[in-house]
């Protein structure tokens, strides 16, 4: 058995086989499938139909005979005449399938028949057997005065549930003497006491030569017809009875059954194998199917065995070998359909390429709850598969699986898509060494289809935290990813990152409510004009003071909100406050410009310009007093649509600034295309200009470039006086940073602005 086949999902079918086998045994023993069995045999018979030998002739006491000779029962002297007539016509032997067990009212009639029997010397008379407490005894046997001159043949038939005559006995022991059946006597083929044989109904009853007893008695039958042949005399009319059900043909007469029985024995001695051989074949095929994993192989086994069990008995029966197949078919079909059903049900639980259970199966594994979960990630899996020939992925997986199984061959591996494997480990075992050994194994390249490929693997471990397997698997995969990222062979899942991650997610859902509850507010960071040395504006920055967590960095919740499309409400809130604040300051006679950060996502919001101009109108702020800051990347990824929006905002009279300039992939072309009137050099460059030559060069050249394009330059992150001085030297336009002022409340900002006014006014 291959290692994979007894994994998880497939353990139960052996139980199934056992139960099916037991059911099949009972099935066979009680003959439960007989209806179907007979039906099959009749169908098979039609493929090797043949004619009777014509050596046995049926002289029928039919309607014509009753009409011409007289009503039934006939006087015995007619039987005597018939005997004499048949003897005279040269019949080899005469078999009366007629009841001679009762005396006639006129004794002379019986005597006449007895002497005809004596004259003929070749007559066999029918008797029935009855099995009771005293053993098998003759029932309805011919009168002793007849049996003195004639032999006895049994006309007992073994009927099945539907009164079909399938089997005849060879002989029965009665009173110490073996009495043959009529068929056995005709054919001259004997057998042991009590044994019976199947009647071969592929011999067509209609091909038995049949003549009316009337024609025999009235001399219409010539010696040519009967000479040297065995004759069976019996009734063949609805008026008398003795009708039986002849399988495959419908209603027939008892004599025909005995003749076909005799014809059967004349062909040879039938061998009845019973139902066990086919049962064993069916069982073996079912077991073979369970051993195979491939659907095609299972299909081949089941269909070929099924066909064999249906067809082979036909060929055997042509050679008089009989076998019952229904218990065998039952076992085969039950197991095949159970496997089919199981496959149908587990389709979603098996990896289609490797047939390994997949991650859904892993998630459904209840025993895994108490175990550690290891996830392995082949980092360059897709890349490798893309380079492989068709079917190569299977070989690759085989190699990966055999490596992963080193050291623990019995373990159940689960496979996900894209080079993910997972399994459970005993959490009490130190498996770090094991994972490192596995990692070392993967340093050897895999060889598939003559190609040699390096596999990069990383492992992540989740030790069991009582969470659902679904979550634990995700954590183990994250840990594997982190291990790869940190250049480690394997890594434990760190519950702290989990806490962070879940906090991040819950934070998102809390953000909207936080705005409503007033936990979110806006801080303003002043901007200094370097030529006039005056505060000419401020940048509005969102702030969230969480009741439990305290202040949360804008970068943290803004990024999360952006990724999950929740930025709209925050932006509206900040804009509302900032525009209001700017209008207020401008009303005091200060020329003041407010900057608000705009998420690139909003560039796709068609209604934004409309809402914005309404907002400006409502607060009475001139559009030229508002600057929208777009981060470089955000504007960059903007399609034509984004550019259109920027243009429309510019048309409205609003200023556009490129935020965090230098961190993205801006090109000259891009700078030219974006209709921004301000460039904000990212703080990472500004902070270093005093000590770092290349930062200084970068800032200097950007200022030159922006000026040549007619753009204003703002430097962010001005933390010290030295930086400020250097920026003045470089003829930068505006500076923003801790050296000028930290983000502050609106109150502080207005106080600062008005005190500055007073100072300059004074
Ligand atoms: P940003 O637009 O580049 O904002 C400047 C950031 O630099 C602010 O961080 C500010 O506090 C910080 N900063 C200012 N001067 C200095 C300095 O001298 N030294 C250092 N080290 N830092 C300085 P903050 O407030 O944490 O904001 C981070 C980012 O979050 C902002 O970067 C902006 O992109 C985004 N953001 C803030 N508020 C909003 C908002 O309302 N809407 C949107 N869409 N984004 C926002
Ligand atoms: Mg900004
Ligand atoms: Mg910035």
Check whether residue 20 and residue 128 sit in a common domain: no
Contact assessment for residue 168 and residue 246, using Cβ atoms and an 8 Å cutoff: no
Domain final residue, candidates 268, 297, 319: 268
Q: Which of 524, 526, 541, 556 best tests ligand 1's pocket when mutated (most atoms within 8 Å of CB)?
A: 541
Counting residues of the chain whose pLDDT is more than 70, the rounded percentage is 93
As for how many domains the chain has, the answer is 4
CA 254, distance to chain mean position in Å, is 56
Do residues 318 and 219 share a domain?
no
Last residue of a domain, one of 268, 286, 316: 268
Does pLDDT of 560 surpass 80? no
Residues near 330 by beta carbon (within 8 Å), at least 6 away in sequence? 20, 23, 24, 27, 33, 282
pLDDT for the residue numbered 9: 44
For atom 10 of ligand 1, the residue with the nearest CA is: 743
Q: Distance, CA 539 to ligand 2 centroid (Å)?
A: 7
Position 88 in a domain:
yes
Closest protein CA for atom 46 of ligand 1 = 597
Mean pLDDT of 468-482: 87
Listing DSSP states for 458-519 in one string gives: EEEEE---SS-HHHHHHHHHHHHHHHHHTT-SEEE--HHHHHHHHHHHHHHHHHHHHHHHT-
Distance 541 CA to ligand 1 centre (A): 6
Return mean pLDDT, the chain: 87
- pLDDT class for 11, splitting at 50, 70, 90? low
Q: How far is the CA of 554 from the centre of ligand 1 (A)?
A: 7
Task: Name the domain boundary from 268, 300, 327.
Answer: 268
555 lines ligand 1 (CB under 6 A): yes
Query: Do residue 110 and residue 203 come from a single domain?
Result: yes
Q: Is the CB of 737 under 6 A from ligand 1?
A: yes
The model's pLDDT over 223-281, given as tens digits with 9 standing for 90+, comes to 899 999 999 999 999 888 778 888 888 889 999 999 999 999 999 999 989 899 999 99
Say yes or no to pLDDT of 7 above 50: no
Query: What is the average pLDDT across 543-566?
Result: 77
Are 76 and 167 members of one domain?
yes
Q: For 346, phi and psi rounded to 5 degrees? A: -95, 5
Encoded tokens for 720: 């010290």
Nearest CA to ligand 1 atom 28: 555
Q: Could you tell me the two tokens for 355?
A: 């047939």
pTM for this predicted structure: 0.49
Taking the CA of 555 as reference, the closest ligand is 1
Q: Is 627 in the pocket of ligand 1 (CB under 6 A)?
A: no
**pLDDT at residue 5 is higher than 80:** no
501, part of any domain: no
258 and 288 both lie in a single domain: no
- 51 domain residue, yes or no: no
- Say if residue 723 is in the same domain as residue 583: yes
Both 303 and 164 in one domain: the answer is: no
Q: Quote the ligand 3 centre to 302 CA distance (angstroms).
A: 71
Asked if residue 37 has pLDDT above 50, the reply is yes
Give the distance (Å) from ligand 1 centre to CA of residue 500. Answer: 21
Considering the domain boundaries, does residue 161 fall inside one? yes
Range of the domain at 136: 56-268
pLDDT digits (tens, 9 = 90+) for 713-744: 999 999 999 999 999 999 999 999 999 999 99
**Are residues 529 and 411 located together in one domain of the fold?**
no
Place of tokens 């049949």: 210
Kindly list the protein residues that place their beta carbon closer than 5 angstroms to ligand 3, a single-atom ion: 659-660, 716
Neighbours of 25 (CB within 10 A): 16
User: Distance, CA 757 to ligand 2 centroid (Å)?
Assistant: 25
Q: Whose CA is nearest to atom 2 of ligand 1?
A: 597
Q: How far is the CA of 723 from the centre of ligand 3 (A)?
A: 17
Residue whose CA is closest, atom 30 of ligand 1? Answer: 555
Going from the Cα of 658 to the center of ligand 3, the distance in angstroms, rounded, reads: 9
Ligand 1 touching residue 234 (CB < 6 A)? no
Ligand 1 pocket, 28 CB below 6 A?
no
Confidence check: pLDDT of 332 > 80: yes
Nearest CA to ligand 1 atom 8: 541
Which of 522, 554, 567, 661 best tests ligand 1's pocket when mutated (most atoms within 8 Å of CB)?
Answer: 554
Quickly state the pLDDT bin for 157 (edges 50, 70, 90).
confident
Q: Tell me, what's the pLDDT at 434?
A: 85
Q: Same domain, yes or no, for 452 and 311?
A: no
Which ligand approaches the C-alpha of residue 541 most closely?
A: 1
Least confident residue range of 355-369, 445-459, 494-508, 635-649: 494-508
Ligand 1 close to Cβ of residue 141 (< 6 A): no
Per-residue pLDDT at 2: 37
pLDDT tens digits for range 48-104: 899 999 999 999 999 999 999 998 889 999 999 999 999 999 999 999 999 999 999
Q: From 596, 597, 690, give the residue whose CB has the most ligand 1 atoms within 8 Å, as the site to mutate.
A: 597
Q: How close is the Cα of 492 to the center of ligand 2, in Å? A: 38
- What average pLDDT does range 467-491 have in this prediction? 85
- For residue 662 and ligand 1, the question of a CB distance below 6 A is answered with no
The CATH number of the domain holding residue 480 is 3.30.70.270
Higher pLDDT: 203 or 133? It is 203
Domain membership flag for residue 198: yes
660 lines ligand 1 (CB under 6 A): yes
Q: Whose CA is nearest to atom 14 of ligand 1?
A: 737
Q: Which residue has the higher pLDDT, 46 or 734?
A: 734
> Is pLDDT at 665 greater than 60 in this prediction?
no
In a domain? residue 319:
yes
Confidence band for 112, pLDDT divided at 50, 70 and 90? very high
Confidence of residue 8 (pLDDT cuts 50, 70, 90): very low
Task: Tell which wins on pLDDT, 505 or 679.
Answer: 679
Residue from 558, 578, 630 whose mutation best tests the ligand 1 pocket (most atoms within 8 A of CB): 558
pLDDT tens readout for residues 382-416: 888 888 888 888 889 989 999 998 888 778 899 98
- Distance from the CA of 476 to the center of ligand 3, in angstroms? 36
Ligand 1, atom 34: nearest CA belongs to which residue? 597
Pocket of ligand 1 contains residue 406 by CB under 6 Å: no
Sign of CA dihedral 110, 116, 118, 121: negative
How far does the centroid of ligand 1 lie from the alpha carbon of residue 530, in Å?
Answer: 21
Give the containing element (helix H, strand E) for 151.
strand 151-154
Q: Is 741 in the pocket of ligand 1 (CB under 6 A)?
A: no
Going from the Cα of 542 to the center of ligand 3, the distance in angstroms, rounded, reads: 13
Question: How far is the CA of 311 from the CAs of 31, 42, 339, 592, 708, in angstroms?
Answer: 20, 12, 24, 99, 94
Query: What DSSP character marks residue 411?
Result: P
* 522 vs 541: CA distance, rounded Å: 6
Q: Report whether residue 683 contacts ligand 1, using a CB cutoff of 6 Å.
A: yes
**What value, to the nearest 5°, has the Cα angle with vertex 369 and ends 365 and 373?**
85
How far, in Å, CA of 193 to CA of 179, rounded? 9
In a domain, 246, yes or no: yes
Which pLDDT value is given to residue 564? 66
399 in the same domain as 320: no
CA-proximal residue: ligand 1, atom 41 (nearest) = 542
Identify whether 464 is part of a domain. yes
447 and 391 assigned to the same domain: yes
Q: Is the pLDDT of residue 6 over 50?
A: no
Q: How, if at all, do strands 230-235 and 210-212 pair?
A: unpaired
**Is the CB of residue 230 below 6 angstroms from any atom belonging to ligand 1?**
no
Find out whether the beta carbon of 579 lies less than 6 Å from any atom of ligand 1: no
Which tops the pLDDT comparison, 551 or 322?
322
Q: From the CB of 47, is ligand 1 less than 6 Å away?
A: no
Q: Tell whether the model's pLDDT for residue 664 goes beyond 70.
A: no
306 or 562, which is more confident: 306
- For atom 32 of ligand 1, which residue has the closest CA? 555
Pair (369, 452) in one structural domain: yes
Cβ(571) – ligand 1 distance below 6 Å: yes
Q: How far is the CA of 542 from the centre of ligand 1 (A)?
A: 8
Does 717 contact ligand 1 (Cβ within 6 A)? yes
pLDDT tens digits, residue range 739-756? Answer: 999 999 999 999 999 888
Q: What is the mean pLDDT of residues 515-531?
A: 94
Residue 747: C-alpha distances to residues 20, 587, 750 (Å) = 85, 15, 5
Q: Which of 201-205, 338-342, 535-539, 688-692 has the lowest mean pLDDT?
A: 338-342
Q: What's the confidence (pLDDT) of residue 76? A: 94
Q: Which atom of ligand 1 is nearest to the CA of 553?
A: 26
End-to-end CA distance of the chain: 98
- Ligand 1 site, residue 682, Cβ cutoff 6 A: no
Residue 558 Cβ < 6 Å to ligand 1: yes
Going by CA atoms, what residue is nearest to atom 29 of ligand 1?
555
């Amino acid at each position: 058995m291959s290692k994979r086949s007894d994994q998880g999902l497939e353990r139960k079918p052996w139980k199934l086989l056992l139960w099916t086998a037991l059911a099949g045994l009972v099935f066979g023993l009680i003959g439960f499938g007989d209806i179907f069995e007979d039906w099959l045999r009749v169908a098979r018979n039609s493929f090797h139909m043949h004619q009777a030998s014509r050596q046995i002739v049926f002289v029928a006491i039919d309607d014509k005979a009753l009409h011409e000779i007289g009503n039934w029962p006939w006087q015995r002297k007619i039987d005597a005449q018939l005997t004499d007539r048949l003897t005279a016509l040269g019949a080899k032997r005469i078999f009366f399938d007629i009841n001679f067990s009762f005396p006639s009212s006129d004794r002379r009639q019986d005597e006449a028949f007895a002497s005809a029997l004596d004259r003929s010397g070749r007559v066999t008379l029918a008797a029935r057997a009855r099995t009771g407490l005293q053993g098998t005894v003759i029932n309805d046997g011919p009168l002793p005065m007849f049996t003195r001159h004639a032999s006895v043949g049994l006309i007992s038939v073994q009927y099945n549930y539907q009164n079909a005559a399938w089997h005849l006995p060879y002989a029965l022991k009665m009173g110490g003497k073996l009495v043959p059946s009529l068929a056995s006597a005709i054919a001259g083929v004997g057998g042991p006491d009590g044994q019976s044989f199947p009647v071969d109904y592929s011999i067509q009853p209609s091909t038995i030569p049949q003549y009316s007893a009337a024609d025999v008695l009235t001399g219409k039958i010539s010696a040519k017809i009967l000479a040297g042949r065995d004759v069976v005399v019996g009734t063949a009319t609805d008026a008398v009875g003795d009708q039986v059900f002849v399988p495959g043909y419908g209603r027939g007469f008892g004599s025909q059954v005995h003749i076909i029985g005799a014809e059967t024995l004349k062909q040879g001695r039938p061998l009845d194998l019973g139902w066990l051989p086919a049962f064993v074949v069916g069982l073996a095929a079912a077991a073979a199917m369970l051993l195979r994993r491939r659907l095609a192989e299972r299909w081949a086994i089941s269909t070929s065995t099924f066909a064999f069990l249906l067809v082979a008995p036909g060929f055997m029966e042509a050679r008089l070998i009989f076998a019952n197949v229904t218990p065998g078919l039952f076992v085969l079909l039950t197991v095949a359909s159970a496997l089919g059903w199981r496959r149908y049900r587990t389709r979603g639980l098996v990896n289609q390429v490797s047939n390994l259970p997949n991650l859904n199966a892993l998630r459904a594994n209840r025993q895994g709850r108490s175990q550690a979960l290891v996830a392995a990630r082949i980092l360059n899996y897709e890349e490798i598969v893309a380079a492989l020939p068709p079917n190569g992925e299977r070989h690759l997986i085989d190699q990966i699986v055999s490596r992963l199984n080193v050291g623990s061959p019995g373990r159940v591996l689960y496979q996900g898509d894209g080079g993910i494997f997972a399994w459970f480990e005993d959490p009490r075992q130190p498996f770090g060494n094991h994972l490192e050994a596995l990692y070392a194994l993967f340093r050897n390249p895999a060889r598939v289809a003559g190609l040699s490929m390096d596999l990069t693997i990383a492992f992540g471990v989740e030790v069991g935290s009582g969470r659902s397997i679904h979550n634990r698997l995700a954590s183990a995969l994250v840990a594997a990813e982190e291990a790869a990222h940190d250049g480690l062979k394997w890594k434990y899942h760190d519950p702290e990152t989990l806490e962070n991650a879940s906090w991040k997610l819950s934070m998102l859902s809390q953000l909207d409510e936080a705005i409503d509850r007033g936990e979110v507010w806006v801080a303003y960071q002043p901007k200094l004009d370097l030529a006039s040395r005056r505060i000419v504006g401020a940048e509005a920055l969102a702030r969230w003071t969480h009741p439990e967590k305290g202040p949360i960095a804008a970068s943290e919740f803004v990024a999360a909100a952006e990724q999950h499309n929740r930025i709209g409400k925050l932006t509206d809130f900040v804009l509302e406050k900032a525009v209001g604040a700017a209008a207020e300051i401008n009303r005091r006679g200060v020329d003041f410009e407010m900057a608000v950060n705009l998420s690139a996502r909003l560039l796709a919001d068609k209604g934004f310009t409309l809402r914005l101009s309404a907002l400006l109108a409502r607060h009475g702020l001139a559009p030229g007093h508002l600057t929208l800051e777009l981060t470089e990347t955000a504007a960059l990824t903007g399609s034509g649509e984004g550019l259109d929006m920027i243009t429309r905002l510019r048309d409205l009279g609003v200023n556009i600034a490129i935020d965090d300039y230098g961190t993205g992939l801006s090109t000259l072309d891009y700078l030219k295309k974006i209709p921004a009137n301000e460039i904000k050099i990212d703080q990472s460059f500004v902070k270093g200009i005093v000590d770092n030559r290349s930062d200084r060069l970068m800032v200097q050249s950007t200022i030159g470039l922006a000026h040549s394009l007619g753009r204003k330059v703002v430097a962010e992150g001005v933390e010290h006086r030295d930086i400020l001085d250097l920026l003045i030297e470089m003829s930068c336009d505006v500076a923003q940073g801790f050296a000028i002022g930290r983000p502050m409340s609106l109150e502080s900002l207005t106080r600062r602005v008005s005190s500055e006014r007073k100072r300059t006014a004074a």
